[in-house]
Structure 1
Amino acid sequence: MAEPKTKYDRQLRIWGEQGQAALEKASICLLNCGPTGSETLKNLVLGGVGSITVIDGSKVEVSDLGNNFMVDESSVGQSKAKCVCAFLQELNDAVKAKFIEEHPEALIETNPSFFSQFTLVVATQLVEDSMVKLDKICREANVKLIFARSYGLTGFVRVSVKEHTVIESKPDHFLDDLRLNNPWPELKSFAETIDLNVADPVAHKHTPYVIILVKMAEEWAKTHGGSLPSTRDEKKQFKELLKAGMVATDEENYKEAIEASFKVFAPRGISLDLQQIISDSCTEVDSNSSQFWVMLAALKKIYQAKAEADYLVIEQRVKNILKKIGRDPDGISKTMIKSFCKNARKLKVCRYRLLEDEFSNPSLPQLQKYLTDEDYSVAMGFYILLRAVDRFTANYNSFPGQFDGEMDEDISRLKTTAVGLLSDLGCNGSPLTEDLINEMCRFGASELHAVAAFIGGVASQEVIKLITRQFVPISGTFIFNGIDHKSQLLAL
């Protein structure tokens, strides 16, 4: 047991043993193992994912040696899936790896049930028609899906799952609720046993900062009609009151209290986001409800102050609900319920549109806003053109700019295709610049390693979020603009 802990020490500090265990149980399917797919899988193999299956029906060509580090000169002419799988296996022998020499498009058409065996599918370099079909297949099988594609100096990543619930959302900025402005009875009683004016300097220095804030807030309220500091001047006065309580300049507990004084002024109650989740129709649970919604149903019925009391009450209610809906009362572990209680104020529910719905019926106001907004117009232009090149390919059996001597004609064809696409979406005229259209043709559907590595890094990060159920996955389509070195999310 010591070896894995040493091996994965750095990541264990981020997502813990529970997150790592989820990774080690996960089975990942990769469609197409060009540089984008290989870079995505490389990060997951190094992270200790349970098993990988590489699907690719192509052979290694000389051109692959310039952008894919998972093949070498001896690989030329051999199965790309086999070679990439072997190289990935060398990175971490604890990961089970296998490959299938078949084109993903054929598998999507002829054997859709194949994908139901996986925890998550990473689909790279697919054209729009195959993406739409795979999206429906994975949704029906309840398999998580991530699309990733690099195309010259641009690329995208998009998560596609019906619903994803997050307990450990780990927001960058979050105000802890220490109940400093409304202490529960036990905390209040404990604070009353401590004298802030104690003569012993050692005891004074070791009074917990939370107790200092509770007592000072109570003292303030007594002289201000029961209210706490609210204006800028009042907050400043409250900090001065804390500072005046210091006996010596090296009292770290008082410094902590001054730095954390803003927590006293925090509004009471739960956030609007959490209120919306609690009011969600999914809290009306049945035998098909996920563990998340069963625990949410329990939380909806009670919201108490003490963490341990919360846990015991929630645990009992969870058991009762599970029994009522005909499931094992012990079907949700104590560890899971404790984590749920601990993070109850940070819960997140992510829902993603079906890809076909986004493609055929995007939000027109949002679409027009992105196209005309100077900050988003290039990212939106790439989004439209990435879709347009797939239409182009369907019509002309090649990507624009893929063959020498056809550049001028391809530029004209791509522009016409893009204008037609925009018209179908309800946008008349083409706000796309000539330069951007020219660039897309110049890319010639190439996968540049630097771009593929970046897109693969983003995709693998989202895979880890989905599998560990920690942090919040991206919502919308992530577009990378390698020309201006910008990354943006488009919500359509």
Structure 2
Amino acid sequence: MAEPKVKYDRQLRIWGEQGQTALEKATVCLLNCGPTGSETLKNLVLGGIGSITVVDGSKVELGDLGNNFMVDETSLGESKAKCVCAFLQELNDAVNAKFIVELPEKLIESNPSFFSQFTLVIATQLVEDKMIKLDRICREANVTLVYARSYGLTGLVRVSVKEHTVIESKPDHFLDDLRLNNPWPELKRFVESIDINVQDPVSHKHIPYVVILVKVAEEWAQSHGGALPSTREEKKEFKDLLKSKTIGLDEDNYKEAVDASFKLFAPRGIGPNLMQILKDSCAEINSNSSDFWVMVAALKEFVANEGAGEFPLEGSIPDMTSSTEQYVNLQKVYQAKAEADFLAMDKRVQNLLKNIGRDPQSISKMTIKGFCKNARKLTVCRYRMVEEELNTPNLSELQKYLTDEDYREIDEDISRLKTLAVSLLTDMGCSGSILTEDLIYEICRFGAAELHAVSAFIGGIASQEVIKLITKQFIPMTGTFIFNGIDHKSQLLLL
């Protein structure tokens, strides 16, 4: 195991060994290995995907040499799937690479069960009716589908799956779970054991800001009917109260308390998005329920009982100015609470598993611990079927794109394509008169051709989404990503 760890060292720092293991176990099928598909798969092969199957019935032609770096002059007349597969295998010999010389459209019609063997299918350059049929096939088999296409200087990426659950969503910015506005008994006792009015300057400037905020918040509440600051004026007044407690000029801990006071003002309890996930768990779980929904069911019980309206504590605290002794002791208080919450959750998960006839140990303690640590960041993504999106698009989103201030140059039709597009938009209820001319021009100029620069970009976006979906880390896009290389713009539309 030492070699893979060195080989994938940088990406292991992003998604960890668990994420890398998920990639190495994944089986991915690519339909059509033109530049868009090849670039997508290249990124996954370099990342250590477990197995790839390339499906393409075409042969390498002279035009392929100018836009696909994975074929060369010696490939002319050869199977495109075979040549691309051989190139990808050279990039990473640890990947199991296979190819099938067959047109994807024919495979979709003749052998739909073929796709059920894969973790994920990447479909590129498919026509609309085949895409709709493939989407139905993948949903029935519970296989994730990623669709990507390039048209000259434009392209799109879309994910399709019934439901995708994420425990490690890893948001860029997230509030520390310190419970400053709802301290539990052990934290209260720790805070009470420290005198923030101590006159010794050294001791005073080494009190952790967590202690300062909880103490001053309690003082504030006593003179404000038990309520914490809520209005802008009250929050300013509270900060002034904090500043009044300083006895020296260089008390960084009090500056930190002022800067972190917004953590105290955050609303208690569970936000609406997470509340919706708990509501979604109302349906009875059974032996076929995923580990995620079993743990959500246990979480709902925990919130109503041991959690007293809160999720399990994460257990970590940020760096802060403090004496080493007080910081370590404070850290222990948070860790002890997090461990107690985990043990309560573990017991509830085991009981639920037993009730639905599954092995009580079938969900590992490591998984439950990770779930507890990330409970406030849970995400559930659900996607419309491709057919629904095409038949009944979200017209407000489409109109928003068409009326973007950078797309308002209106003039006479430049082609029959524009006339048809305007007619279609009008039929759907959108104002076709504001359809931008440059996009129509580019599609007419390039047809359905794939330019390598655009294909590489679209392939990069698609492979990034594939990694999110397979590792179940970070939040995948939930709409249709559209790239406009003419104006160097992109948009994510919930069509």
TM-score, normalised relative to structure 2: 0.87
Q: Which residue in 1 is equivalent to 2:344?
A: 313
Question: Is 1:467 the equivalent of 2:470?
Answer: yes
Q: Which residue in 2 is equivalent to 1:393?
A: none
Q: Give 2:372's match in structure 1, choosing from 337, 341, 346.
A: 341
Q: Which residue in 2 is equivalent to 1:439?
A: 442
**Displacement of 1:318 after TM fit?**
1.4
Q: Give 1:486's match in structure 2, choosing from 471, 485, 489.
A: 489
Amino acid at match of 1:35: P
**Displacement of 1:221 after TM fit?**
2.3
**Displacement of 1:284 after TM fit?**
2.5
Inter-partner Cα distance in structure 2 for 1:341 and 1:235: 31
CA gap of 1:261–1:139, structure 2 versus 1, over 3 A, is same
Inter-partner Cα distance in structure 1 for 2:444 and 2:71: 27
CA gap of 1:42–1:328, structure 2 versus 1, over 3 A, is same
Query: Could you list the per-position Cα deviations for residues 208-260 of structure 1 after superposition, in whole angstroms to 9, with x for gaps in the alignment?
Result: 33222222222332343322222333323333443444555555443432321
Aligned-pair RMSD on alpha carbons? 2.4
Inter-partner Cα distance in structure 2 for 1:239 and 1:181: 15
Instruction: Report if aligned partners of 1:370, 1:377 keep a CA contact under 8 Å in 2.
Output: no
Unaligned runs of 5+ in 1: 382-407
Q: Which residue in 2 is equivalent to 1:276?
A: 276
Q: Which residue in 1 is equivalent to 2:455?
A: 452
Question: Is 1:220 the equivalent of 2:251?
Answer: no
CA gap of 1:183–1:433, structure 2 versus 1, over 3 A, is closer
DSSP-derived class of the 1:142 partner: coil
Instruction: Report if aligned partners of 1:146, 1:159 keep a CA contact under 8 Å in 2.
Output: yes
Q: Give the number of equivalent residue pairs.
A: 461
Q: Which residue in 1 is equivalent to 2:480?
A: 477
Instruction: Report if aligned partners of 1:112, 1:137 keep a CA contact under 8 Å in 2.
Output: yes
Instruction: Report if aligned partners of 1:283, 1:296 keep a CA contact under 8 Å in 2.
Output: no
CA gap of 1:484–1:429, structure 2 versus 1, over 3 A, is closer
DSSP-derived class of the 2:265 partner: coil
Instruction: Report if aligned partners of 1:167, 1:347 keep a CA contact under 8 Å in 2.
Output: yes
Q: Which residue in 1 is equivalent to 2:394?
A: 363
Instruction: Report if aligned partners of 1:213, 1:264 keep a CA contact under 8 Å in 2.
Output: yes
Instruction: Report if aligned partners of 1:282, 1:293 keep a CA contact under 8 Å in 2.
Output: no
**Displacement of 1:132 after TM fit?**
0.5
Instruction: Report if aligned partners of 2:147, 2:157 keep a CA contact under 8 Å in 1.
Output: yes
Instruction: Report if aligned partners of 1:283, 1:294 keep a CA contact under 8 Å in 2.
Output: no
Amino acid at match of 1:437: I
DSSP-derived class of the 2:347 partner: helix
Query: Could you list the per-position Cα deviations for residues 6-32 of structure 1 after superposition, in whole angstroms to 9, with x for gaps in the alignment?
Result: 222222222222212111111111111
Inter-partner Cα distance in structure 2 for 1:204 and 1:281: 48
Q: Which residue in 2 is equivalent to 1:331?
A: 362
Question: Is 1:124 the equivalent of 2:124?
Answer: yes
CA gap of 1:251–1:63, structure 2 versus 1, over 3 A, is farther
> 5 Å matches for 1:144-293?
144-198=144-198, 203-246=203-246, 249-280=249-280, 283-293=283-293
**Displacement of 1:56 after TM fit?**
1.3
Amino acid at match of 2:385: L
Amino acid at match of 1:439: E
**Displacement of 1:424 after TM fit?**
5.1
Unaligned runs of 5+ in 2: 311-336
> 5 Å matches for 1:30-45?
30-45=30-45
**Displacement of 1:480 after TM fit?**
0.3
**Displacement of 1:96 after TM fit?**
1.5
Instruction: Report if aligned partners of 1:149, 1:157 keep a CA contact under 8 Å in 2.
Output: yes
Query: Could you list the per-position Cα deviations for residues 40-67 of structure 1 after superposition, in whole angstroms to 9, with x for gaps in the alignment?
Result: 1111111111111111112222222222
Amino acid at match of 1:43: N
Amino acid at match of 1:447: E
